[in-house]
Amino acid sequence: MFENTYIQHRIQKANTLRELGINPYRNDSKVTMSNQEFLDTFAYLRQSESSEKQEADSRVWIKGRVKFLRLMGKASFIKVEDSTALLQVYFSQNELGDFFKILKKNLDVGDIVNILGFPFITKTGELSIHAIEFKLLTKAIVPLPEKFHGLNDVELRYRQRYVDLIVNKEVRDTFIVRSQVISCLRRFFESKGFLEVETPMLHPIPGGANARPFITHHNALNVERYLRIAPELYLKRLIVGGFEAVFEINRNFRNEGIDHSHNPEFSMIEFYWAYHDYNDLITLTQELLVSLLESLHLPKILPFGDVQIDFDCFSKLSYKESLHALGGIDETIVQDKKKLKAFLLQHHIKIEPDLSYAKLLNAAFDHFVESKLINPTFITDYPIDISPLAKRNDKDSAIADRFELFIGGREIANGFSELNDPIDQLERFKTQVAEKEKGDMEAQYMDEDFVWALGHGMPPTAGQGIGIDRLVMLLTNSRSIKDVILFPAMKPTAENYNVIDKE
pLDDT reported for residue 493 = 78
Give phi and psi for 13, each to the nearest 5: -65, -40
Contacts of 54 (CB under 8 A, 6+ apart): 45, 118, 119, 120, 121, 130
State how far the Cα of 335 lies from the Cα of 329, in Å rounded to an integer.
10
From the list 488, 467, 478, the residue with the least C-alpha distance to 171 is: 478
Taking a C-beta distance cutoff of 8 angstroms, is the pair 236, 272 a contact? yes
For 227, what's the count of Cα atoms within 13 Å in the CB-facing half-sphere? 15
CA–CA distances in Å: residue 203 to residues 243, 279, 353: 21, 31, 33
Taking a C-beta distance cutoff of 8 angstroms, is the pair 25, 139 a contact? yes
Chain CA centroid to CA 488, Å: 10
State how far the Cα of 264 lies from the Cα of 465, in Å rounded to an integer.
16
All structural domains of the chain? 5-144 (2.40.50.140), 166-314+375-483 (3.30.930.10)
pLDDT reported for residue 221 = 93
**Burial of 92: CB neighbours in 10 Å, binned 0-12, 13-18, 19+:** middle
The verdict on whether residue 427 carries a ligand-binding annotation is no
Strand partners, 301: 310
Strand partners, 379: 317, 404
State how far the Cα of 25 lies from the Cα of 255, in Å rounded to an integer.
42
State how far the Cα of 403 lies from the Cα of 376, in Å rounded to an integer.
12
From the list 206, 207, 209, 205, the residue with the least C-alpha distance to 387 is: 209
pLDDT reported for residue 503 = 41
Count other C-beta atoms under 10 Å from residue 430's C-beta: 11
State how far the Cα of 388 lies from the Cα of 383, in Å rounded to an integer.
10
State how far the Cα of 153 lies from the Cα of 499, in Å rounded to an integer.
10
State how far the Cα of 77 lies from the Cα of 82, in Å rounded to an integer.
17
In what helix (H) or strand (E) does residue 5 lie, and over which residues does it extend? Answer: helix 5-19
Give phi and psi for 379, each to the nearest 5: -90, 125
The verdict on whether residue 404 carries a ligand-binding annotation is yes
Contacts of 266 (CB under 8 A, 6+ apart): 251, 252, 254, 467, 468, 469, 481, 485
**Burial of 5: CB neighbours in 10 Å, binned 0-12, 13-18, 19+:** exposed
Return averaged pLDDT per consecutive 10 residues of the chain, 503 residues in all.
91 97 95 97 87 87 96 93 97 95 96 98 95 97 77 79 93 97 98 98 90 93 94 97 97 92 95 98 98 97 96 96 95 94 94 90 96 97 91 94 97 96 94 88 90 97 97 96 95 66 49
Look up the pTM and report it.
0.90
Give phi and psi for 116, each to the nearest 5: -105, 130
Phi-psi region of 65 (alpha: psi -120 to 50; beta: other; left: phi over 0): beta
In what helix (H) or strand (E) does residue 475 lie, and over which residues does it extend? Answer: helix 468-476
In what helix (H) or strand (E) does residue 61 lie, and over which residues does it extend? Answer: strand 60-71
**Three-state SS for 59?**
coil
Taking a C-beta distance cutoff of 8 angstroms, is the pair 400, 385 a contact? no
CA dihedral for 51, 57, 58, 63, sign (positive or negative) = positive
Contacts of 383 (CB under 8 A, 6+ apart): 319, 357, 358, 361, 362, 398, 399, 400
